[in-house]
Amino acid sequence: MDNLDLSVLRTAAGWRAEQRGVVLGTITRTWGSAPRPVGSLVAVRDDGQIAGSVSGGCIEDDLVAQLRAGSLTLDRPAPLRYGVGAEEARRFGLPCGGTLELMLEPLGPRSALDDLLTRLTRGERVRRTLDLATGAVTLAPAERGADTLSVTDTQLISHHGPQWRLLVIGAGQMTDYLAQMAQALGYGVTVCDPREEYADGFAIDGVTLTREMPDDVVTAFQVDDATAIVALTHDPKLDDLALMEALKSPAFYVGAIGSRVNQAKRRARLAEHFGLSDAELDRLHGPVGLNIGARTPPEIALSILAEMTAVRYQAGGNTVEAGCAL
């Protein structure tokens, strides 16, 4: 399941393959509040069809109107600014005085769109550098932690691919839903399961599968504060191995499936056998997920990602027991 911006790029590439003219818009700057963050994409086909979003719809409507009026016939990238004054801000759904700037880019052979999509399909994070004078694009591996986007008088540098990482212990049915939903939210997903009966049948495009032991995988994963780790096997021999390393790491989220009773037993095991401190154990989200009454695997996957999102934005939230006591 693609995230929104990857979906825009795929759609634009499909239009290009049909020999259609396509203009790609990238939000490069915002002042005040804005409907979408910097780096968001919209693609406009030569007949006015839209893919993606940079506002609540008003800016997209204006782009279509400009295209039909012939003012989006570009031979090189060009900036376009919305919402400079109060009246225009209201028209385009921005707060009074808010401003949003787009870089409009006519896509062509030098846009390297197919190469970018090939790399993104492999799960890579890519730095895309657009020469504003010529429209030529160069691609390179992105450095972790680099800004999503930067723009100068001569070039636009944008980063594409997973901004966050999710390591899931266990390749069961719930993992199928969790992995695909996480991809849509911009996570690069790795699944660890040494059990043949689970790993042999697991295959999701763009998701890495490893059969190594969980503690070794967590150690080798180079966990940082953009990493989430979720244990879903119900097997203490596997989940505990992952958690003993994960809870000592800088991961922004560590969760484990199981009822409150099983979580209490797990906490006791981790303290007794692996020497984890109370502070480290307090980092464990268990039962995992927000309390939305989840019962089915996709509902539980949704609750887990909701809690991960809340933690990312430091919004807090209660955990769920009913759906995770399976």
How many angstroms separate the CA atoms of 243 and 50, rounded?
45
Specify the pairing of strand 155-160 against strand 126-131: antiparallel
Average per-residue pLDDT in the chain?
88
Q: Which domain holds residue 182?
A: 164-324
In the block, tokens 């969790």 appear at: 178
Please indicate, yes or no, whether residues 316 and 185 belong to a single structural domain of this protein.
yes
Last residue of a domain, one of 160, 181, 199: 160
Please indicate, yes or no, whether residues 74 and 93 belong to a single structural domain of this protein.
yes
Least confident range from 90-94, 254-258, 263-267: namely 90-94
How many angstroms separate the CA atoms of 108 and 299, rounded?
42
Q: Indicate yes or no: pTM above 0.75.
A: no
Cis? peptide before 109, omega within 30° of 0: no
Average pLDDT of the segment spanning 59-64: 88
pLDDT band at residue 34 using 50, 70 and 90 as cut-offs: low
Please indicate, yes or no, whether residues 34 and 152 belong to a single structural domain of this protein.
yes
What digits encode the pLDDT tens for the residues 208-252? Answer: 999 999 999 999 998 988 899 999 998 999 999 999 999 999 999
What pLDDT was estimated at residue 58?
A: 81
What total of structural domains would you count in the chain?
2
What pLDDT was estimated at residue 20?
A: 95
Count of residues in the chain:
326
How many angstroms separate the CA atoms of 257 and 32, rounded?
41
What pLDDT was estimated at residue 94?
A: 61
